[in-house]
Amino acid sequence: MLPGRLSPRLQEGLVRLGTWMPFAPAARGLAWFNRVEVSEATACRLTAAAGAALAAVETAAAERVAVERPAPPAGPRVQQLSADGAMVPLVRGEWAEAKTVAIGVVEAGRGADGAPVVRTTEVSYFASLADSDAFGRPAPVETHRRGTETAGTVVAVTDGSEWLQTFVDLHRPDAVRVLDFPHALEHLNAAAQACWGEGAPAAVAWLDQQAAELKEGDPDRVLSALRALPVGRAADPAAAEQARAATLGYLQKRRAQIAYARFRACGYPIGSGMVESGNKNVVEARLKGAGMRWARPSVDPMLALRGAACSDRWDEAWPRIAQHLRRPAPCPTRARPLPGLPAAQASRPNTHPCPARPPVRAAPLPRRDKRVIDGHPTPDHPFKKRPFQRRQLLRQAHLTKS
């Protein structure tokens, strides 16, 4: 049994519902499906407890991978690794960025028209509310599970941010790094709009030409066309020159990541839509509802549940959640300071399980004198003070003797 008054099956069902929808509809859903009524607060409490248990299990697994370095499972021939961030609303009007890593198996083929088609399947997710430096520490629980270290080729499609390059260095330094193709087009579009104006036909035509060349031709030609933009004829030449220089510097720095024709010939993906979809499904679909505000400690537990559910790994995750929930709770008392210990160590809370208490033995009952002798009540019998009950008792004793 799990803590609480619900059966394990009902508790799992309630947590499942709370993972996919707000807690009030989850409580109503449990009542409709199982005829068991619980409050919104109960749905919130049990879902949060399950999420905290799964987050603790995954953190312990990541630490074990970092320390023990167990042999990873065999990875696929080609694997895609992408990461990105999405904003989460917190209480008091604050916002924080949740990082998500998405991992999938790359399958290359050709469509009906003979054009190369690249699909990424078996996608799984891991998300956490962490800054860019800290996100790399818990993520190995997912990269190790998916065999990123042993995959034949890992294609890291990202938006080009520096923290993402550091993340890839941590998990697969030799990954093929690809700048997300729509992201590269956004930078080219910014330069074109600054030169000809927003929505100008010349800007649209120039961008279409460069997009085709960038996707199927030589990226150096695109860089040359970018240098040749007529920024001097722009409405604001200084702003146009600044936009062109920023785009040129951004793409030149990532020249090796924009060789899209070669990537497509190798059957590699060139878009990071996999992780962008993960941001929407794992993070935003549950944590960015209308009027929602989350306490910071509540975000990672929900993200852990969302990652398991959206990765279609619930049946694997729930037994570990239940096992963690069945553990005895730590003793909530605070240890008293002992002589000779430093103040910080002496005030450390006692996290050891509470010791079992010895069984309490009931005290022997006081001895009472007999109140009925030979079928007759003694003077101390309470029936002596109740004439009607006394007559019934005497009549019953007379019938018994006869």
Type of residue at 87:
M
The string of pLDDT tens digits covering residues 323-367 is: 999 987 665 555 444 444 444 444 444 444 444 445 545 555 556
pLDDT at residue 387, rounded to an integer = 54
Count of C-beta atoms within a 10 Å radius of residue 277? 15
Q: In terms of Cα–Cα distance, which of 190, 165, 189, 193 is closest to 177? A: 165
pLDDT at residue 196, rounded to an integer = 95
Whether 18 has a pLDDT exceeding 50, the answer reads: yes
pLDDT at residue 184, rounded to an integer = 96
pLDDT at residue 2, rounded to an integer = 78
The string of pLDDT tens digits covering residues 107-161 is: 988 777 777 789 999 999 999 998 888 898 888 899 999 999 999 999 999 998 9
pLDDT at residue 4, rounded to an integer = 78
Which pLDDT band, with edges at 50, 70 and 90, does 288 fall under?
very high
pLDDT at residue 277, rounded to an integer = 94
The tokens for 208 are 């279409």
Q: What is the 3-state secondary structure (H, E, C) of 330-363?
A: ECCCECCCCCCCCHHHHCCECCCECCCCCCCCCC
* Apex 81 CA angle, 252 and 117, nearest 5: 85
Q: Can you tell me which residue has the tokens 């990105």?
A: 84
Cβ pair 4, 11 in contact under 8 A = yes
